[in-house]
Structure 1
Amino acid sequence: MDNPMIQQYQQNILLAQEQVKLYEKKINFYSLMRLTAFALVLLSIYFSVKFESLGMFFACFIILAVVFNWLVSKQAWFTAQKEYYQHFEKVNENEINSIESYANLYDNGAAYYDERHYYTSDLDIFAGGSLFNLANRAATSHGRDKLASWLMSPAPKEVISERQDAIREIGRKNDWKLDMQARLFFANTNNRDELKQFFTYLDTTLDLPGEKWLSKYIIIGPALFFILLVVAIFYPELKYGAIGMALINYFISSYRHEYTSKTDLIAGKIGDTLKRYSAVFNSIEGVHWQSRLNSALAGKIRKEKDKSTSATIKQLSVLINNLNARLNMMIGFVLNATLVWDIRFVIAIENWKRSNQHDLEAAFDVIAEYEALISLASLHVNCPGWCFAEIADGEHYTVTARNIAHPLIAADTRIENDYELNDSLNIDIITGSNMAGKSTFLRTIGINSVLALCGAPVCADEMEVSVITVITYMRIKDSLNESTSTFKAELDRLQMLLAAVETQPKVFFLIDEMLRGTNSVDKYLGSKAVIKQLISKKGVGMVATHDLQIAQLETEYPDYVRNFYFDIRIESGEMLFDYKLKHGECKTFNASLLLKRIGIDVDAV
């Protein structure tokens, strides 16, 4: 059945394409108007020289400069709107691609890959084809860090519940979610350390020499210049006083050039970026949130002392962009000569830092948390058949599910299963043939538990799970760099597991074919000894194995060990798998048949 969200995304793409064309026309028109304004500036210079009128020059220049600046501002706004709709189009295309092929424009989380983590490597949490790759909609490095941290450890029950409510609410506001993704998309390819450098800059004092008297001069100097300029209209001989005042103003700005450069080194490059973040903060502030978590997050950035975070960030963006006006050589000369421009805005930026630098990093952390919530809400929106897990309170372990499946397998091919571990202590032995589905089932339980315990929806009709610490033992391999054999790597993993069972709360282990790096006798004896030790430590989890002798532990520990299996049917020499979990021990294996297919007859040996 087609996903109902695809049609909505397609409509959004058409809307975005229309808006891009509209703003392209406006940008071209205002570009022509800018050229006209510039031509008029040159014309005013010509007539001012011809009539030897300094007053005419400054009057025309100021008027045309204001008009030119307005045209630049309007064109910049149109350009920003065009960019927004281009990003909106990409965001919606990405959602369609995610639904249809699990493709994603956002980072796949490879930087967080860690083979030594309790479960992220074995359960495909990070890197290509991973859960992070499926879910991630965080454009900022802070947002990716937040989402990764949620996927790497279970949250307390109260936090899980709050996140679930927040994700549901964001899912109901899908237009807002897509708007936020489009507004933040610029950061998807931006310098990863840009904000970190900015926060460092905020904590660094400029210590501008003579700042106290310069703060007074930026008012007095320009005032004297304009007074002399106006008087020179009536008394032309005073024009030299106005020229002298302009040169003094320019000299004072130039004299402190190194401090202007220090400010411009970091702040000058982030003005437009801050303007974009201001729009993001404004979008969060403008929503009436009902869920506890969303309301609390928005409350951190809403009006405090009559100034919201979006207005505060926008104010700094305006100050920085005004300072950047100096980069145009001609305009910069006139602004410094008349308004002591550079010093004026260096001081203004320093005053802003003193008043607003506190807790600004915490405000950006709100964006990061929303990006993590939006990422998980994308699963909720794009996978309407998924459910939110109930978090169990029982003394022992609960992991129950109805029609649970692996979220990274396409919906039309994945197989659903039921499983029940209801407030009890059990180790489940799962036997079965090669390729029958044992490993996939273990990963299905593991990856859905990770989703559930970070507050995300799970790929199941129903699920209930305790707050457990998942530990896996699956893809054990040697390491040439560390001179570690497969068997040594397995021993290290077992040691970690046994230690965790004693020290970590409610460890739920998933073991796939233990001790495969040794001979069959030691493998059986060692595996049996490990399971017995786990039972003695009240360990709970699943063990998948080909060794039917391990299943005999159910006889020895009937109240603790349970047997399950994945079956295979052979018809006319063909293997048929149903990938369905069943109670009991597996009786049919397929290794001999597989060997025969490649020309090895086991019966003839």
Structure 2
Amino acid sequence: MSKDVSEIFQEREAHFRGLFQNELKRYRILSTARLVWFSIAIVLEVYLANIKNGEAMWMTGLVFVCVFVVLIIWHRRTVKRKEFYRCLAEINAEELRRISGDLKGLDGGDEFTDPAHAYVADLDIFGNNSLYALVNRAHTEEGRRVMATWLSAPADRDTVQARQLAVLELGERMEWRQELQAKGRMSAGKQNTDDRLYEWLESDSYIMPGGKFYYLFFLLSLALITSLALAFFDIIPLGISGLLAIVNTLYLLSLQKAVKTVTDGSEKSLKSLAGYESLIKHIETQRFKTETLEELARTFDLEGTKASEAVEKLNKILFALNSRANIFYPAMDILFLLDLYWLIKAVRWRKKYGSSIRSWFEAVGNIEALASISGFSAANPAYRFPKVTDERYAFEAESLGHPLIPSDRRVTNDFGLSGDGSVCLVTGSNMSGKSTFLRTVGVNAVLALGGAPVCADSMRISVMQVYTGMRTSDSLEENVSSFYAELRRIRGLLDRLGEGVPVFFMLDEILKGTNSKDRHAGAAALIRQLNRNGCTGMVSTHDLELGQMAVESSYLKNFHFSSDIDGDEINFDYKLKEGICKSFNASKLMERMGIEMNA
């Protein structure tokens, strides 16, 4: 991009904010016009009624209704445009917030958090100020779930490379991406599709209400309409029409179980369907080049129609069945057997498209997730896509930084670790950056294996399962101490060693919950065990004796972070250096907190 990315988002926010203000003015004018027009209509109709000019009443009434309907249509279109531009303005404002590191209030995907997961809690994948909040731009139920899945599990090499190509293609389509995001945002919070609706739509039963001869029941409707016409001309008694109405009512009562089967799961899905319809229609406007996007787009290709049109038809059917509480519906239902008509429509739709609807929504979710990563990439043009290698263990990066730390405060480091059983031991003084560095490696590995660019000048990585042990704490509810919680975390790591997937571990302040002697013995034994099992990873510790293992063990490599004490000031450079740490600051930190160290 020739312009700074922040300038682009600022210009776009200002542009859409202006369009929103224009539509807001139009909205207010139309709202006032509707009120004024309605008031004039009432006054004029009352006047014409008082002078007993019936013909003029009908003529002016018709004109007023037609104009009022036109005003309603314009008003609704204006509301839609107003919300669309508002969403686009907010989208660009949020991009600016992400760049500045302000993730407060953004969707953090809290419901996807799993404390027992291999890494999501330790690496801030979900929640406030999380990686999910930084990367995700999806709003549909499926899109949010897909994005969470990609950040929760590594993809294979081919899948990662395919996602990278798709993300690069979407990177050229900012306008389209943001419009997709805006359409999803307009339906935010409404994208919950009831599982009962899925169950009904995907059912193998296609029996029409009334069996094979369901269409004959419409003769009841024809008979009632005919009898009413004949009764109007006094050809037959009105009582016959009453009897036919009772017959129709009894038949409609027999359909209620079938109607309930459809409406039980569809009422809260109506807005969801409308949202997906809008998104699918937007996707159908594009012709993609990469195989991944082409394959997803083909999901919406149907014989003779489009998926968006099919969803629109379903939405109309379900809306009609869920509008039965309308005061005019029962009379019209008895007269025209509307329940039967809409049930037949629903069953026919299910037979034709029912097995496809879940795949449509999943395709929307995958495209939203790819567009999210593309938006993340566009907002961070300095980030690079990693090279995914087929080696068993490889991690090499230049100028590696933490994406959740704003660029003006971010310190980057070069780092590499490869080969089965290799272990990086990180020592350092307090607050020097050990834990942050472990998280930096972990978070970028998650990004890389999800198909996203990484916060580095370059990276080479193999497909590995990241596993962390960092934020272990006690639990009063489970009666678990922090030390036992850490042991359970380590147990989880050891259990994964036999699963066949290479594990890339990161253990912070290993065995910190016990005495120095046991901590050293346990940590040394664990490192040797992980090495014997060919497991590669990183360990941070204050135990300098562990660093001596590198003298006799070629698989262990020492790195450290240091600090400088200048009078009462402690300075950190947060740069990774080779070797064991030789500078410490615990005493100085305790003195600053008021502890009299020399008393």
TM-score tier after normalising by the smaller chain length:
0.7 to 0.9
User: Is the aligned partner of 1:428 residue 2:431?
Assistant: no
User: Is the aligned partner of 1:564 residue 2:559?
Assistant: yes
Query: What amino acid maps onto 1:116 in structure 2?
Result: A
Cα distance, 1:596 vs structure 2: 2.0
User: Is the aligned partner of 1:545 residue 2:541?
Assistant: yes
For the residues of structure 2 that align with 1:250 and 1:272, how far apart are their CA atoms? 35
Query: What amino acid maps onto 1:461 in structure 2?
Result: D
**In the TM superposition, what whole-angstrom CA distance separates every residue of 1:478-526 from its partner, at most 9, and x where no partner exists?**
2222222222222222222233234342211111111111111111122
User: Is the aligned partner of 1:274 residue 2:270?
Assistant: no
Partner of 1:6: 9
Query: What amino acid maps onto 1:575 in structure 2?
Result: I
Partner of 1:311: 309
User: Is the aligned partner of 1:583 residue 2:578?
Assistant: yes
Partner of 1:300: 299
Partner of 1:83: 83
Q: Which moved more, 1:122-131 or 1:527-536?
A: 527-536
For the residues of structure 1 that align with 2:81 and 2:318, how far apart are their CA atoms? 21
User: Is the aligned partner of 1:371 residue 2:368?
Assistant: yes
What does 1:79-228 align with in structure 2 at a 5 Å threshold? 79-103=79-103, 105-190=105-190, 192=192, 194-203=193-202, 210=210, 215-218=215-218, 221=221, 225=225
Task: Indicate if the aligned counterparts of 1:228 and 1:241 stay in contact, CA closer than 8 A.
Answer: no
Cα distance, 1:268 vs structure 2: 4.9
Q: CA distance change for structure 1 residues 486 and 159 in 2, over 3 Å: closer, same or farther?
A: same
Cα distance, 1:284 vs structure 2: 0.9
**In the TM superposition, what whole-angstrom CA distance separates every residue of 1:274-305 from its partner, at most 9, and x where no partner exists?**
23321211111111111221111111112x21
Q: CA distance change for structure 1 residues 21 and 419 in 2, over 3 Å: closer, same or farther?
A: same
Q: Which moved more, 1:338-347 or 1:289-298?
A: 338-347
Q: CA distance change for structure 1 residues 486 and 12 in 2, over 3 Å: closer, same or farther?
A: same
For the residues of structure 2 that align with 1:594 and 1:265, how far apart are their CA atoms? 63
For the residues of structure 1 that align with 2:218 and 2:32, how far apart are their CA atoms? 38
Partner of 1:487: 483
Query: What amino acid maps onto 2:543 in structure 1?
Result: D
Give the gaps of 5 or more residues in structure 2: none
For the residues of structure 2 that align with 1:248 and 1:73, how far apart are their CA atoms? 39
Task: Indicate if the aligned counterparts of 1:274 and 1:317 stay in contact, CA closer than 8 A.
Answer: yes
User: Is the aligned partner of 1:17 residue 2:21?
Assistant: yes
Task: Indicate if the aligned counterparts of 1:120 and 1:152 stay in contact, CA closer than 8 A.
Answer: yes
For the residues of structure 2 that align with 1:498 and 1:145, how far apart are their CA atoms? 29
Q: Which moved more, 1:405-414 or 1:447-456?
A: 405-414
Q: What secondary structure, in the 3-state scheme, does the structure 2 residue paired with 1:188 have?
A: coil
User: Is the aligned partner of 1:389 residue 2:392?
Assistant: no
Cα distance, 1:182 vs structure 2: 1.5
User: Is the aligned partner of 1:359 residue 2:367?
Assistant: no
Query: What amino acid maps onto 2:170 in structure 1?
Result: I
Partner of 2:457: 461
What's the TM-score once normalised by structure 2's chain length?
0.86
Task: Indicate if the aligned counterparts of 2:393 and 2:420 stay in contact, CA closer than 8 A.
Answer: yes
- Identity rate, percent: 32
Task: Indicate if the aligned counterparts of 2:224 and 2:244 stay in contact, CA closer than 8 A.
Answer: no
What does 1:240-255 align with in structure 2 at a 5 Å threshold? 248=244, 252=248, 255=251
Partner of 1:403: 399
Cα distance, 1:361 vs structure 2: 0.9
For the residues of structure 2 that align with 1:599 and 1:337, how far apart are their CA atoms? 85
For the residues of structure 2 that align with 1:203 and 1:38, how far apart are their CA atoms? 51
Query: What amino acid maps onto 1:167 in structure 2?
Result: V
Q: CA distance change for structure 1 residues 423 and 13 in 2, over 3 Å: closer, same or farther?
A: farther
- What is the Cα-based RMSD across aligned positions, in Å? 3.9
What's the TM-score once normalised by structure 1's chain length?
0.85
Cα distance, 1:407 vs structure 2: 1.0
Cα distance, 1:370 vs structure 2: 1.9
Task: Indicate if the aligned counterparts of 1:469 and 1:505 stay in contact, CA closer than 8 A.
Answer: yes
Q: CA distance change for structure 1 residues 290 and 33 in 2, over 3 Å: closer, same or farther?
A: farther
Q: CA distance change for structure 1 residues 67 and 227 in 2, over 3 Å: closer, same or farther?
A: farther
For the residues of structure 2 that align with 1:113 and 1:525, how far apart are their CA atoms? 34
For the residues of structure 2 that align with 1:328 and 1:44, how far apart are their CA atoms? 31
Cα distance, 1:222 vs structure 2: 5.5
User: Is the aligned partner of 1:419 residue 2:422?
Assistant: no
Task: Indicate if the aligned counterparts of 1:225 and 1:338 stay in contact, CA closer than 8 A.
Answer: yes
Cα distance, 1:262 vs structure 2: 5.5
For the residues of structure 2 that align with 1:206 and 1:70, how far apart are their CA atoms? 41
Query: What amino acid maps onto 2:403 in structure 1?
Result: P
Task: Indicate if the aligned counterparts of 1:106 and 1:138 stay in contact, CA closer than 8 A.
Answer: no
Q: What secondary structure, in the 3-state scheme, does the structure 2 residue paired with 1:411 have?
A: coil
Partner of 2:439: 443
Give the gaps of 5 or more residues in structure 1: none
Task: Indicate if the aligned counterparts of 2:194 and 2:268 stay in contact, CA closer than 8 A.
Answer: no
Q: CA distance change for structure 1 residues 140 and 401 in 2, over 3 Å: closer, same or farther?
A: same
Query: What amino acid maps onto 2:6 in structure 1?
Result: N
Cα distance, 1:174 vs structure 2: 1.5
**In the TM superposition, what whole-angstrom CA distance separates every residue of 1:523-567 from its partner, at most 9, and x where no partner exists?**
11221222122222222111111121111111101x312111112
Task: Indicate if the aligned counterparts of 2:411 and 2:575 stay in contact, CA closer than 8 A.
Answer: yes
Of 586, 590, 600 in structure 1, the residue corresponding to residue 595 of structure 2 is 600
Cα distance, 1:464 vs structure 2: 1.2
Q: CA distance change for structure 1 residues 472 and 270 in 2, over 3 Å: closer, same or farther?
A: closer
**In the TM superposition, what whole-angstrom CA distance separates every residue of 1:257-286 from its partner, at most 9, and x where no partner exists?**
535565444435544542332121111111
Of 350, 359, 366 in structure 1, the residue corresponding to residue 347 of structure 2 is 350
